[in-house]
Amino acid sequence: MYAAPVLALALLQPLLPPAHTVEATFDRPDGIVPATAVSFAPDAVPYGAGARIMVHRAAGHTTVSMTVDGLTPGHVYPVHAHTGGCGTVPADSGPHYQDRRDPVQPSTDPAYANDRNELRLTLHTDGTGHATASTTVEWEFRDGEAGSVVLHAGADGHEHAPAQRVGCVNVDF
Ligand SMILES: [Cu+2]
């Protein structure tokens, strides 16, 4: 007699919006247990600062929202989805994830390196080090090809060049 409700639930499951949340505290990158969120520059991303990232995928588009607490007050952090997971050194997170992948990497061609083809956010922290930002792109991530969200130093936008990677959060997009 319990089969019917269970079956109904199973049928409903695929209709629920596929969303997930990562909540993590920034920690050192060389801990014995790899941290979900790491800081490479504790002056910009203090150990113990918090990040919450919500990923919501819907038919043909993806919304990513990010909230941080405990970062440097009054600071700007360009943020991107990168291909790799966070590692012990900043370069481990690899290049930017691109919907249409630039055959020339590192990608500097504005036809590929732009905010429609990459997932970009800008965090502007308030006087307490809190910030929130959200963006929607008109595509869904390919499974297993994006592994992290990387926080960069400096207000100089999202260009690839040498913008220092100050923090990284593992996100299974
Ligand atoms: Cu980046």
More confident residue, 104 or 14: 104
Summarize pLDDT for 31-53 with one digit per residue, the tens: 999 999 999 999 999 999 999 99
Residue type, 46: P
Residue 96 DSSP code? B
**How far does residue 95's CA lie from ligand 1's centre (Å)?**
7
Q: In angstroms, what is the span from residue 1 Cα to ligand 1's centroid?
A: 54
Cα within 13 Å of Cα(58), Cβ side: 8
Q: Is the confidence at residue 15, as pLDDT, over 90?
A: no
Distance 18 CA to ligand 1 centre (A): 25
Dihedral sign for Cα atoms in the order 164, 81, 53, 61: positive
Residue 67 Cα to ligand 1 midpoint, Å, equals: 17
**Ligand 1 midpoint to CA 12 (Å):** 37
pLDDT at position 36 is 98
Ligand 1 centre to CA of 128 (Å) is: 24
User: Which structure tokens are listed for 5?
Assistant: 């409700």
CA dist., res. 117 & res. 80, Å (int): 11
CB 170 within 8 A of CB 148: yes
* 126 alpha carbon – ligand 1 mean position (Å): 22
Cα of 169 from ligand 1 centre, angstroms: 12
Q: What predicted TM-score, i.e. pTM, was given to this entire model?
A: 0.87
Cα–Cα distance for residue pair 70/79, rounded to 1 Å:
16
Cα(9) to centroid(ligand 1), Å: 40
Q: What is the pLDDT of residues 72-90, one digit of tens each?
A: 999 999 999 999 999 999 9
- Identify the CA nearest to 152 among candidates 161, 140, 143: 161
Encoded tokens for 80: 């991107």
Burial 108-144 (b: 16+ CB within 10 A, else e): eeeebbeeebbbbbbbebeeebebebeeebeeebeee
Ligand 1 center–CA 98 separation, angstroms = 11
* d(CA 92, ligand 1 centre) in Å: 12
Fold of 15-170: Immunoglobulin-like (2.60.40)
Ligand 1 center–CA 121 separation, angstroms? 10
Is residue 65 within 8 Å of residue 139, measured between CB atoms? no
pLDDT digits (tens, 9 = 90+) for 114-139: 999 999 999 999 999 999 999 999 99
Q: How many CB atoms lie within 10 A of CB 66?
A: 23
Rounded (to 5) percent helix, strand, coil in the chain: 10, 35, 55
pLDDT at res. 76: 93
Q: Which two tokens stand for residue 4?
A: 């019917």
Q: Do you know the residue count of the chain?
A: 173
Average pLDDT, the chain: 90
